[in-house]
Amino acid sequence: MQVQVEGSMALRAADLVANDVVVETSMSTLLAAWSSSLRSRLLASRLFTSRLFAGGSSVMPVPMAS
């Protein structure tokens, strides 16, 4: 009976470790996807800002008629 209980506990421990590995892998995959998305959004906003300022330099002030 003792061997059976120890074997059962060992299987549970192995199952918990396997579940932990799956969760960690899932979390790292989600984190990598989120990081990639954030990086592309930051890059897009920088491009938009640089185009906005580049376009702003070509605007000429118009004198107001009095």
pLDDT tens by residue, 1-41: 555 656 677 667 767 666 666 667 777 888 888 888 888 87
State the pLDDT confidence band at 56, using cuts at 50, 70 and 90: low
pLDDT, residue 37, reads: 83
What is the Cα Rg of the chain in Å?
A: 29
Assessment of whether the complete model's pTM goes beyond 0.75:
no
Specify the higher pLDDT residue, 52 or 47.
47
Residue 35 is which amino acid?
A: S
- Report whether pLDDT(61) > 70: no
What dihedral do alpha carbons 13, 15, 20, 26 form, nearest 10°?
170
DSSP type of residue 57: T
